[in-house]
């Protein structure tokens, strides 16, 4: 039933994942997370990642790569990340 409802994978806690992502160099914040499993083995994660306002496109891409690498080590095989400047106030920030 958990898979049919696309529930969060057993044993994975979003607060722990967010805490881990905060340790990635260049990440200033993480919000609007969603975590679910497709088949019990393939876990999907989406989130907004906040980076410094002055970060270059190249720097942002490197941060995204480091975040995805960290997620792989946490058992998350697919991730869609929306990268945001700290200078912008995201409308989804409270979620």
Contact present, 14 and 48 (Cβ < 8 Å) = no
Question: From CA 67, how far away is CA 30, in angstroms rounded?
Answer: 11
The residues, ordered by sequence, that sit 6+ positions from 92 with a Cβ below 8 Å of its Cβ are 31, 32, 48
The model scores a pTM over 0.85: yes
Q: pLDDT for 71-92, tens place per residue?
A: 999 999 999 999 999 998 887 6
Q: pLDDT for 17-57, tens place per residue?
A: 999 999 999 999 999 999 999 888 899 999 999 999 999 99
Which pLDDT value is given to residue 40? Answer: 83
Bridge-based pairing of strands 43-51 and 29-37 is: antiparallel
| pLDDT band, residue 63 (cuts 50/70/90) | very high
What three-state secondary structure class fits 46?
Answer: strand
Contact present, 26 and 64 (Cβ < 8 Å) = no
Which pLDDT value is given to residue 34? Answer: 95
């Amino acid at each position: 039933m958990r898979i049919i409802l696309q529930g969060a994978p057993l044993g994975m806690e979003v607060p722990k994942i967010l805490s881990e992502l905060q340790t990635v160099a260049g990440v200033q914040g993480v919000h609007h997370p969603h975590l679910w499993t497709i088949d019990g083995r393939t876990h999907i994660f989406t989130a907004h990642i906040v980076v410094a306002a002055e970060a270059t496109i190249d720097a942002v891409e490197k941060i995204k790569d480091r975040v995805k690498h960290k997620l792989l080590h946490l058992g998350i095989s697919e991730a869609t990340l929306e990268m945001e400047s700290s200078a912008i106030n995201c409308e989804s920030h409270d979620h």
